Each structure stands twice: as C-alpha cells, then as structure tokens.
Amino acid sequence: MFKIISAVIGRDLKLAMRRQADIVSALFFFVIVVSLFPLGIGPEPDLLRKLAPGVLWVAALLATMLSLPRLFADDHRDGTLEQLALAPHPLGLVVTGKVIAHWLVSGLPLALIAPVLGIQFDLSADALVVLTFAILLGTPALSGIGAIGAALTLGLRGGGILLSLLVLPLYIPVLIFGAGAVDATVAGLGGEGHLSLLAALTFASLGFAPWASAAALKIALE
C-alpha cells in the first residue's frame, strides 16, 4: 500500500521538478495577492495586523486552487490516468499519492513563505509560528478536497472557473479554522482548539477525499 503511494509521489515530484516554473508561479501568485492588500487598504499597522490571517488564508486558498486543474489534466491528456485506473492497485491509493505530491509542491512552499509575508503585516512572533503551523496543517485538506473538484471537472469546458465554483464553498471550514487559530493567538486566547479542528479536517479529508476523487475519475473516464 505504501509502496504504490510512494511510487506515485516520487513520479509526480519528478514531473513537477522538471517544470519548476509552475510551482514558482503559484508561489508568486500567493505573494502578489497578499502584497496587494496593504496597497489597497492602506499601510496602518493595526489594521494590517487584524487583516493578516484572513488575507493570507484567502490567498493560500486561491493559490492552491490555481494549481488544481493540473492535478489530473496532464495525466488525462496523455492517457496515463487510464493506465493508472487499470492498474491492480485501488485508484484511491493512487489519488492519495497524487494529493500528497500536490501538497508537497503547492501547500508546503506556501507555509514556508507565509512567515515572511506575515512580517510584512507586522504580526508578532507567536502569531507567525501559529500561522505557519496552521497553513502546514490546513493545506493538505485543501489539496484533498480540491482533488474531488479537479476530478469532477476533468476535461470539461470552462473547467477552471467551474472548479472554483465547486471547491471554494467546501474550503470555508478550513479558512475559518485556519484564520481563527491566528486570530485567537493574536487575541491571547491560544489557537490550540482551532488547530485541533484543522488537523481533524485534514485527516478526515485525506482519508475520504481520495476515494471520492477516485469515484469521480472513474465517472470521467467512462
């Protein structure tokens, strides 16, 4: 079981490394969107400190979503996906591997750069630690839930916009608990409760979403 998952992760990472521009552009999208907010609302530190968790999380949601259509589209185009579906291993495990690989190239870089952007918003050290941790914990759920949307919209016209319409409402709990953890830390309440719920969401979606995506892929491949 772990062999097939790690094989898919290794393959997807190798493919991603050959096209590093894709990873970097999603990352820069995140940086640019976050940097636009201080320009739009003005540079008052108090206001920015208050807005930072929400802005960073919404930008992370959008950046994750931008990279989702490529999750299955390339494999679908060259027929690899059909071969994977025909393989003796359950398709759910293959999708699990693809989701983890997607997180490694899209979610993890966001978490690594988030503290730098947090400093721009004048967040305290505590809040920065919680923000990084929350994005680390929450982005796997984004990749998992997003995989369902990517599989459902595979090969459809207007797939990108449709994907955002399907996936963004389902992202709301992650956004609320992710931003809530940082908010609670800033307010001095401690973000442990929010972080626990975020972890619960991540484990639940990593457990269930690949199988739902696998069912959606089978529908798309029929």
Nearest alpha-carbon partner for 138 in 27, 37, 214, 64: 64
Residue in 47, 51, 166, 199 binding other proteins, rule: CB under 8 A: 166
Pick the piece of the chain touching other proteins (CB under 8 A) from 60-68, 98-106, 114-122, 159-167.
Answer: 159-167
Pick the piece of the chain touching other proteins (CB under 8 A) from 13-21, 71-79, 111-119, 150-158.
Answer: 150-158
The torsion defined by the Cα of 71, 162, 24 and 172, in degrees rounded to 10, comes to: -100
Q: What are phi and psi of 134, to 5 degrees?
A: -65, -40
Pick the piece of the chain touching other proteins (CB under 8 A) from 16-24, 43-51, 124-132, 163-171.
Answer: 163-171
User: What's the one-letter identity of residue 199?
Assistant: A
Residues 57-116 touching other proteins, rule: CB under 8 A, are none
Q: Which runs of consecutive H residues, i.e. helices, occur in 78-191?
A: 80-86, 91-102, 108-120, 125-152, 159-186
Residue in 31, 73, 168, 199 binding other proteins, rule: CB under 8 A: 168
Taking the complex as a whole, the smallest distance from the CB of residue 69 to other proteins amounts, in Å, to 14
**Closer residue to other proteins in complex, CB, 105/212:** 212
Please tell me the distance from the alpha carbon of residue 127 to that of residue 149, in angstroms, as a whole number. 32
Under rule CB under 8 A, residue 180 binds other proteins: yes
